[in-house]
Chains A and B, each alone.
Chain A
Amino acid sequence: MMSLFRRWSFLLLLFIAVLSILAPFSLSVSPNQEVAPPFSTPLWLKRNLPPTMKITLSENILKKNIAWPYNPPTQIHLSGEITLSVPSALVLETPTQKFVLHHLTVGKNTFDIDGRDLSFKQRLNFSPFAQIPSELFSEKGEYIFRVEPDFSAPPEMRGTITFDIKGGRWGLLGTDQRGRDIFSLFIAGIRVSLIVGISATLLASLLGLFFGLISGYAGGWTDTIIMRGVDILLSIPILPILMVLAAYWGKGLWQLVLILSLFSWMGTARTVRAMTLSLRDSSYIEGLRGLGAPTFYILWRHLLPETLPLLLANIALGVPGAILAEAGISFLGLSDPRIISWGRMLHEAHSFGAFTRGAWWMLLPPGLGITLLCLIFLDLGKFLEEQIDPQLKGALKQ
């Protein structure tokens, strides 16, 4: 067993499991919380994007200078609740141009304008497809944001105007289409993929073991019935069953595990049955039966330990299948949107256009995460297989 602990896959699995257990406490930001504008890029991506800024004008400060050495921001938002003594305009002066953002009337004004509103684009007579932030902040240099009276008299103003300039940069892996932090989603995703992968395969293997042993040992009618049952289950495609069961049982995590295990035990059952058949006729089992040992005793004390190593290898190799099945199911939209799993993240990134947006930092982490988890279990499976059958030791052993 010792050599197991030195294996890279085991250590990595341990690390990931610990990470997913610590996740809820250690993460500063909860996965479901909206933290930044959607599709913001990660901080380390050197696209020279500006930091998020908030510029406010109030009673005595009617003018603010902004030094702007950056590329254009991704989002701007203008909001305020003010009362004015004189009609004036909210103006943004760029090094070369001057834009009137909003006309303010005498008395009370409340407004909430976003760079993406079509009406705002039309008011500044840009094309409906223009990106306002890059039109306004197109050059680097000195910008002035101020309330400019229509006529000469300086206005008195009560209340505040806030000008949010969002840099569109956030955290380690940016944000998804709902502005949630992808990194915390990624960490939270481990839990589901692990739980689904391991528990589905465990359940399937137990079912397979149970049916395999019984049909192998009992033989005769029970054997044919179970084997025909296996044939029937194998010839029904999983897809519609999942939809019917998902529609009936609802879409929780454990329903998914149950459905997955219900449809992957047949393989194990067949291998266990084959093994039991060959062991059943071996001399020492024959001898035990001769001594009058009850069937249960024979199964439990003798046949089970024989099949165990094979089972372990089977489990380890089954987990990747379950993880990929979960990713496939969420790709078809059958999984519960509230459960954060890598499969779900990959699907949402794909359907909200991450590929066309070139947002590889949204696609690679879950995709590679799934692959890594599968590789780990494959390696463990191979290790266990080699324990059972040393010849298989390939050149991989370092």
Chain B
Amino acid sequence: MTEMKSYWWRRIAGSLLVLFVVLILNFFLFRLMPGDPVATMLDPRFSPEAKAELSKLYGLDKPLSFQFLLYLKQMITFNFGYSFLTGRTVWEELATRLPNTITLLGSALLLSAFLGTWLGIQAALKRGKWIEKIVLWSGAVSFSFPSFFVQLLLLLIFAYAIPLFPLRGSVSVPPPIGFWAQLTDHIWHLILPVGSLVLLGFGGWALYVRNLMVKVLSEDFILMGEARGLPEKHIVWNHAFRTLLPPLLTIFLLSLPGIISGAVITETVFSLHGVGRFLLEAITGQDYPSAGASFYLLALLTIFCNLAADLLYGIVDPRVRFERRGR
């Protein structure tokens, strides 16, 4: 097992290197950006001395090297200091927003992955039938529609014209009393945003799974499955899908960081309180601590997902495990 461990140590060391480089890049990224955060607090009542005092507070007047060390300490200890925009600690800001974004993106990703996979498999099984046409077209459409265009349309139709779903936010005002009432109210609020993300997302999955499935079904061991008199459903799920699992899981994990950008638009259109919007505001508002923290977390998420994808691939696909041991 020693080669296995050395392989993993090399992989983890590589990721830590990547993380460190990302940290340095993030730090300088914002210092490079022209502009000074305190300047944006434009208010005739702020005298020059008041502004100078503020920048002292945020430690902006200290030499760059000092700021970098402070930044490193903050990142490692996960306390990210104060956000310039709100004066609250960055962690607090993220804490109130993370649950919303995670539920939104998490459920959207899971739903579109499951729906997409199931449709992809059906399309591969029933070649030439209408279901394959749907998958091919929905795959194409989900790659080409600009998201906010679709989401606003959905909002107009299903929340305004036909008042099926609420127009905004994740809880109705005043909030219902009782855990179950609040839960159903929350879910009722999330149907449209999550639904729109799934509508935009499942096509990609369906197309990807269909192509993979078509390849796998033409493999010899599937024919052998039939030769062994196994029922078709058993072959499809226990043999074909089982071989499909490793690449599917890796793509699922690798696509996780990418969907954050989708959050910005969805959260604006449906007035949801999430990290996406906060991220954009932190960037445009030169809010170094918040932006720096958000990117640090995003980089962590990406690196973690890459590592997890590697690990999972090894577990799920024996060939890879064997291959690694050999090298």
Does a CB–CB distance below 8 Å link A and B in the complex? Answer: yes
Interface residues of A (CB under 8 A from B): 224, 228, 231-232, 234-241, 243-244, 247-248, 320-321, 324, 327-328, 331-332, 343, 346, 350, 355, 363, 367, 370-375, 378-379, 382, 389, 391-392, 394-396
Residues of B within 8 Å of A375, CB to CB, are: 140-141, 144
Contacts of B132 in A (CB 8 A): 394-395
Residues of B within 8 A of A389 (CB): 215
Question: Does B315 count as interface, using CB distance less than 8 angstroms?
Answer: no
Taking a contact as CB atoms under 8 Å apart, the answer to whether A231 and B215 are in contact is no
For the complex of A and B, the 5 pairs showing the least CB-CB separation, nearest first, are A374-B144, A235-B302, A395-B128, A367-B149, A235-B299
B22 and A232: CB pair below 8 A? yes
* Partner pick for A235 among B22, B32, B141, CB 8 A cutoff: B22
A260 → B minimal CB distance (Å): 14
A-B contact pairs, 15 of them (CB 8 A): A235-B298, A235-B303, A236-B25, A236-B299, A237-B260, A239-B283, A240-B29, A241-B29, A243-B283, A244-B33, A320-B143, A328-B261, A370-B146, A392-B211, A394-B127
User: Could you tell me if A391 and B257 are in contact, using CB atoms closer than 8 angstroms?
Assistant: no
Q: Which of these binds chain A: B13-21, B65-73, B85-93? A: B13-21
Q: How far is the CA of A378 from the CA of B284 in the complex (A)?
A: 34
Complex contact B146–A396 (CB within 8 A): no
Q: Which B residues are CB-close (under 8 A) to A228? A: 14, 17-18
Residues from chain B with Cβ under 8 Å of A232 in the complex? 18, 21-22, 25
Q: How far is the CA of A320 from the CA of B14 in the complex (A)?
A: 33
A239 touches B136 (CB 8 A): no
CA distance A343 to B147 in the complex (A): 12
Whether, in the assembled complex, B295 has its beta carbon less than 8 Å from a beta carbon of chain A, the answer is yes
In whole Å, how far is A390's beta carbon from the nearest beta carbon of chain B?
11
Q: How far apart are A48's CB and chain B's nearest CB, in angstroms?
A: 24
Name the one of A240, A324, A363, A382 contacting B295, with C-beta atoms under 8 angstroms. Answer: A240
Chain B residues within 8 Å of chain A by Cβ, number: 51
Question: Is there an interface contact between B146 and A327, defined as CB atoms closer than 8 Å?
Answer: yes
With CB as the reference atom, state the residue of chain A lying closest to B130.
A395
Q: B265 within 8 Å of A by Cβ?
A: yes
Report B147-164 CB contacts with A as 1/0, cut-off 8 Å: 011001000100000000
Known pairs A382-B136, A396-B136 / 20 extra A-B pairs, C-beta < 8 Å? A224-B14, A231-B303, A234-B306, A235-B18, A235-B19, A235-B299, A235-B306, A237-B260, A239-B280, A239-B283, A240-B29, A244-B29, A248-B32, A343-B146, A350-B148, A370-B144, A374-B144, A375-B141, A395-B128, A395-B133
Report Cα–Cα, A392/B124, bound state, in Å: 10
Q: How far apart are the CA atoms of A328 and B260 in the complex, in Å?
A: 14
Nearest residue (CB) in B for A363 is B149
Is residue B167 within 8 Å, beta carbon to beta carbon, of the partner chain?
Answer: no
In angstroms, Cα B226 to Cα A164, docked, is: 81
Q: Which of B33, B128, B148, B211 contacts A247 (CB 8 A)?
A: B33
Bound: A247/B32 CA distance, A? 10
**Contact indicator A331/B127 (Cβ below 8 Å):** no
* Beta-carbon contact of B133 and A396 below 8 Å: yes
What A residues does B148 contact at CB under 8 A? 331, 350
- Give the complex CA separation of A378 and B142 in angstroms: 11
Q: Is the CB of A378 within 8 A of B144?
A: yes
Q: Is B321 an interface residue (CB 8 A)?
A: no
A224–B18 alpha-carbon span in the complex (Å): 12
B18 touches A395 (CB 8 A): no
Counting CB contacts under 8 A, is B229 at the interface?
no
Q: Which residue of A has the minimal Cβ distance to B303?
A: A235
Pairwise interchain contact B149-A346, C-beta atoms closer than 8 A: yes
Contact A236 B295 (CB under 8 A): yes
B146 touching A367, Cβ below 8 Å: yes
Inter-chain contact A231/B127, CB cutoff 8 Å = no
With contacts A231-B303, A320-B143, A396-B133 known, is A391 near B14, CB below 8 A?
Answer: no
Whole-angstrom distance between the alpha carbons of A276 and B22 in the complex? Answer: 28
In the complex, which residues of chain B have a beta carbon less than 8 angstroms from the beta carbon of A392? 211, 214
Neighbouring A residues of B133 by C-beta, 8 Å: 395-396
Q: Is B291 an interface residue (CB 8 A)?
A: yes
A382→B298 CA distance, assembly (Å): 33
Within 199-221 of B, Cβ neighbours of A (below 8 Å) are at 210-211, 214-215, 218
Within the complex, the shortest CB–CB distance from B67 to chain A, in Å, comes to: 17
Q: Which residue of B lies closest to A327 (CB)?
A: B146
A331 and B302 contact, CB distance less than 8 A: no
B257:A235 contact, CB within 8 angstroms? yes
- Expressed in whole angstroms, the Cα–Cα distance for A320 and B280 within the complex equals 24
Write the B99-137 contact mask toward A (1 if CB under 8 angstroms, else 0). 000000000000000000000000100011100110010
Inside 8 A of B252's CB, which chain A residues have their CB?
A: none
Q: Closest CB of chain A to B143's CB: distance in Å?
A: 5
Residues from chain B with a CB closer than 8 A to the CB of A355 are 152, 156
**Which residues on the B side are within 8 Å of A374 (C-beta)?**
140, 143-144
Q: Are A237 and B298 in contact (CB under 8 A)?
A: yes
B139 to chain A, nearest CB (A): 8
Given contact pairs A346-B149, A391-B214, A239 touches B144 in the complex (Cβ within 8 A): no
Given the complex of chains A and B, what is the CA–CA distance between A328 and B279 in angstroms? 15
Complex Cα distance A350/B265, Å? 13
User: B29 to chain A: which residues have CB within 8 Å?
Assistant: 240-241, 244
A378 and B140: CB pair below 8 A? Answer: yes
* Distance (whole angstroms) from the CB of B259 to the closest CB of chain A: 12
A240-B291 CB under 8 A given contacts A231-B14, A235-B302, A355-B152: yes
A241 to B25, CA, bound (A): 10
Output the least CB separation between B196 and chain A (Å): 15
A395 to B303, CA, bound (A): 39
| Residue B145 CB within 8 A of the other chain | yes
Alpha-carbon separation in the docked complex, A116 to B60 (Å)? 48
A243 to B306, CA, bound (A): 26
